[in-house]
Amino acid sequence: MTASSHPVVDLAGVSKSYGDLTALRSADLVVHRGELLAVVGPSGSGKSTMLNIMGTLDRPTAGKVRIAGHDIDELRDRDLSALRAATIGFVFQQFHLARGVPALDSVADGLLYSGRGRAERRELAERALRRVGLGRRLYHEPHQLSGGEKQRVAIARAVLGDPPLLLADEPTGALDSRSGAVVMELLHELHEAGTTVVVITHDRDIAASLPREVRLKDGRIEYDSALGDAPAGELVAAEGGLR
């Protein structure tokens, strides 16, 4: 089997507990290359927990996690970091741009450990910024950028090394609807260019506009549009309320 025939993400019976709190319960989720999917659910339902596990930022308490065909149980932290760096880009609600650093450097710094020289890093960063429509903001610092522009810088940084998987945790959560729409359009473009994109969102319209929707409730996947029409809510109700 070639690497590209594996699912990008394969979670099997994945749970995550913090003490006696179970944030994620027996999640089964397969994401194939080229998908664009929304993860939705109430606050505290386990969305970020699941995304962080898909992103290999966290290891599960139970279950199997395979990323691009690699069983993460079998990887030491160092190899896991290498897999993450080569495979996954992250975008968060708060853009995580360092104060006082121009956009070009913020993005180029994403390649600090890539073995490329400074000039090449900056050239690639400039290309990525142009790709997200910020060719005229290369030297702007975060305080000189709008929220939507800051998020586009963060996306440029995330996709700089062309990772096959982009994980976005509420990328439009801090933006007005117009800037949010621009960011979503950008995620659609990246998807069309071949990137697999997983987006956590609170926005029902955004979720409904994506090809696949996964709903979490009380740490459980209660609906996955890829699996057809599961009876939403019944599973959780049957257990008499989990928390």
Count of other CB atoms within 10 angstroms of residue 72? 17
CA dihedral 140, 168, 219, 211 (to 10 degrees): 140
For residue 133, the partner it binds in Mg ion, ligand ATP, none, with Cβ less than 5 to 8 A by kind, is none
Residues belonging to the chain: 243
Contact status, residue 152 vs residue 183, Cβ threshold 8 Å: yes
For residue 41, the partner it binds in Mg ion, ligand ATP, none, with Cβ less than 5 to 8 A by kind, is ligand ATP
Q: Please report how close the Cβ of residue 119 comes to Mg ion at its closest, in angstroms.
A: 38
Helix (H) and strand (E) counts in the chain: 8, 10
Work out which of 7, 34, 44, 161 binds ligand ATP, going by CB under 6 A.
44
With binding defined as CB under 5 A, does residue 48 bind Mg ion? yes
Of 228, 224, 229, 226, nearest in space to 40 by CA: 224
Beta 62-67 vs 36-40: how paired, if at all?
unpaired
* Total residues binding Mg ion (CB under 5 A): 1
Q: How far is CA 48 from its chain centroid? A: 9
Query: Between residues 23 and 108, which has the closer beta carbon with respect to ligand ATP?
Result: 23
For residue 147, the partner it binds in Mg ion, ligand ATP, none, with Cβ less than 5 to 8 A by kind, is none
Using the contact rule CB under 6 A, the part of the chain among 18-26, 74-82, 123-131, 178-186 near ligand ATP is 18-26
What is the contact surface with Mg ion in residues (CB under 5 A)?
48
Q: Please report, as ranges, the residues that interact with ligand ATP according to CB under 6 A.
A: 18, 21, 23, 41, 43-49
